[in-house]
Chains A and B, each alone.
Chain A
């Protein structure tokens, strides 16, 4: 004859009933365990009120049972009682027999509850709810554990967040810490959770940036962070984007990597000829691997003009046409420069033209090569060439066209917009001036602005022409 034993859903309730049942010598198969989650038509067994005399079980059984009692399965009470029965009826070493069917299930349940508890300590995410009186915020989280573990896990949060006021809501039960006591109350649905927290943006930023796209391992992520918990984890919002972006980011990394296949040394100084003269430099520059630009450019473009030129014009870098021709300033901006030089009366045959960076930097777009600005690394690597050209020619005047040339010769702090048209005395030339690059005029979309800019450019070059004339007169 089977009887029902009604208990509340807690380890303590089961323990009280089980103690009495053992004292009454009721075997496991004579009873059915009924708790809050189950019901039965069987006649209820009357248990005595008085506490029975104590008996001994291994201490670890009590510890494990406390967790197994939280397992979400009505069968757990019967399993616990059967284990208890066997332990007290001649099988003292039952827990050591990990492959016994009951023990095996017992430990499997224990493992799952322990994992669920662990995941709860990991995945509860508080949201700060600011109080109206400006005091410390109240921190509220909604979490859905797999098993009945709220009471088991609450002390963890009580210890760790002792200084805060917090609430954890779950579908089964809720708990609030007010600074002195834990108070348990009804469970609530997810819709009761607070809406958001501004800190979550920063948290997502952190999450997204600590991820290495080259090591995508989604299986591992989903195994350790099961998707059923994602709804309450703010960072999971960006996962889709991260995964979608990963191949592109890896490709970018590989691109930068292939740049490293170019095997540059970091400085053109490694490739200077033993004797510094224009023809020697012109020869040597084709072997330059000072920066990675040599990889994709057609050739290095060295300066052009007489060895005894009195003026050097320094541009930024060769353009598409210069790269193919191997000569500086042969493209549209070269034509413009020639035009304005003629206008103000600078004789072309007294001018040496060259660039701050000697290889063409570009980004391929379809069949076209779009100009790209050289970076600080490439500029620094290339500087020895320009320095050598200036040291051989020893010009009276150096004109920097554009900010790249100006910063190469006058320092990073130099701003063309602020100091254009001003004469500066330097170690390498008595008169140095910076103005805009002629290509900047070509790129202006607005006609009036273009006319105005050309006027200013002509004005600057006029200063150069005047200085040149004055210099000749005094000589």
Chain B
């Protein structure tokens, strides 16, 4: 099989992993060497599905000993198989990188022989790039749960980011669809990584020359919609991952039906908008001071698909609105639908100089169609008097705007809600 045919198969097999970020690392360029990393990451291209192409995201091989029912590469699937040699991956990465096609490599793999054997191969690719070719670009390696501590230590030395996928939100889901995988193994790997990442940070503070360990931290991915688990359960899991393992990101990937799927799986994918609502909720947890239990209600453990989770919360808590943009605390401003974290920062600065009027909010490009009901400004804002109207929800959500995928996709990316 020639390189191009392998690339076609192994890129196709890798596309179900949602993460493509190349941000958060600080690997410096060195004289006469190749590559560095960019703090905010760079998307070098976009595919017609609107996804960012930042890394060469491929599998080393899509042969796999496991039979996870949601996975297109499971052993019982009859998708075409291929396998790269580590040298081929190294060459592809370097040649693509030199032409400025990519920020680096995201290498994952089906599990072949054993977790250790697979991890060894991944580590070898990263080692060769760093040591044989003096490459300082971005490397994201998949941490194969169950691989030895020693291999993880090596992986972290070469990689910018490591990720062990949690796959499904609960142990019950996992038992059902990925009987060979155990939540405890995945957690053990995450804990191992967390400890090493924290220790390396500590050493770096003491001495700049201390070796780095996965400076862009660890992330994980959860498949959404393959099991009946609710958004509340998914967000609870995500929240605890952020807290206990200090993850940089949890990626949500809408389950996409795969050829010859198991009959325990749904035959339809969940609406993509659900994935986006989860991303929005995720941002609210991390940057807007929301708690998990505020995002859904006990009666309805699913996020509202027709409006963003912040507006949904505001509609449930109208007693807290309207909020006076000239007086309210930062915490309260962050809860106003339509006000993003950056605009809140600007409002706090501006109001020290002069009082804020509706026209100021327009200049800040605050989406007033939504926000106007929830704020009081220095000038008269008649819409703020409508906060208790029964039909407020339908005013905020215009029918034709419902499920506008484009908008939510952008906001999922930027986190501005």
Contacts and interface: CB of A to CB of B under 8 A. Distances in A.
B7 interface: yes
A104 B363 contact: yes
Given A99-B364, A162-B31, A201-B4, A118 B99 contact: no
B11 A205 contact: yes
A212 B18 CA distance: 12
Interface stretch (B157-165, B181-189, B287-295, B349-357): B349-357
Nearest to A243: B48
B285 to A, nearest CB: 24
Contacts of A159: 29, 36
Contacts of A160: 29, 34-36, 137
A161 interface: yes
A439 B263 CA distance: 35
A336 interface: no
Interface stretch (A220-228, A297-305, A338-346): A220-228
Interface residues of A, number: 69
Given A210-B47, A242-B48, A263-B263, A217 B406 contact: yes
Interface string A281-303: 00000000000100000000000
B148 interface: no
A17 B323 CA distance: 47
A191 B359 CA distance: 48
Given A161-B98, A212-B256, A122 B43 contact: yes
B49 A212 contact: yes
Contacts of A212: 15, 47, 49, 51, 256
B76 interface: yes
Contact of A253 (B4, B76, B259, B272): B259
A257 B101 CA distance: 34
B142 to A, nearest CB: 16
Which 5 pairs show the lowest CB-CB distances between chains A and B? A220-B50, A217-B50, A159-B29, A215-B49, A211-B47
B11 A210 contact: yes
Given A206-B7, A259-B260, 18 more contacts: A97-B350, A97-B353, A160-B137, A163-B34, A199-B95, A206-B11, A210-B47, A212-B15, A217-B48, A224-B43, A224-B50, A239-B48, A257-B257, A260-B260, A260-B265, A261-B267, A264-B263, A377-B260
Contacts of B78: 375-377
Contacts of B265: 260
Interface stretch (B52-60, B203-211, B226-234, B314-322): B52-60
Contacts of A202: 3-4, 7, 92, 95-96
Interface string A179-212: 1000000000000000001010111011111111
Most B CB contacts (10 A, CB to CB) among A179, A206, A225 go to A206
B360 A128 contact: no
A206 B56 contact: yes
17 contacts: A96-B349, A98-B364, A104-B363, A125-B99, A139-B99, A159-B29, A163-B34, A202-B4, A205-B11, A206-B58, A207-B53, A221-B50, A224-B50, A225-B46, A243-B48, A264-B263, A266-B76
B353 A377 contact: no
B263 A221 contact: no
Interface residues of B, number: 70
A93 interface: yes
B272 A215 contact: yes
B329 interface: no
B30 A162 contact: yes
Interface string B1-24: 001100111011011000000000
A3 B352 CA distance: 37
B101 to A, nearest CB: 5
Contact of B57 (A199, A210, A224, A233): A210
Nearest to A97: B353
Interface in A86-144: 93, 96-99, 104, 118, 121-128, 139, 141
Contact of B46 (A224, A257, A375): A224
B229 to A, nearest CB: 21
Interface in B111-160: 134, 137
B346 interface: yes
Contact of A209 (B3, B15, B96, B346): B15
Contacts of A221: 46-50
A178 interface: no
A225 B260 CA distance: 35
A456 interface: no
B11 A256 contact: no
Interface class of chain A by DSSP? helix
Nearest to B261: A260
A219 interface: yes
B281 interface: no
Given A99-B364, A139-B98, A266-B76, A118 B42 contact: yes
Contacts of A224: 43, 46, 50, 52
B410 interface: yes
B92 to A, nearest CB: 7
Contacts of B286: none
B46 A220 contact: yes
Contacts of A206: 7, 11, 56, 58, 96
A128 B267 contact: no
A235 B354 CA distance: 50
A246 interface: yes
A30 to B, nearest CB: 27
B393 interface: no
Contacts of A118: 42
Given A118-B42, A202-B92, A243-B48, A96 B7 contact: no
Given A93-B353, A96-B349, A96-B350, A217 B405 contact: yes
A202 B49 CA distance: 20
B46 to A, nearest CB: 4
Most B CB contacts (10 A, CB to CB) among A160, A197, A266 go to A160
B327 interface: no
A157 to B, nearest CB: 8
A218 interface: yes
A216 interface: yes
Interface string B333-372: 0000000000000100110111010011001100000000
Interface string B242-264: 00000000000000110111110
B41 to A, nearest CB: 10
A239 to B, nearest CB: 6
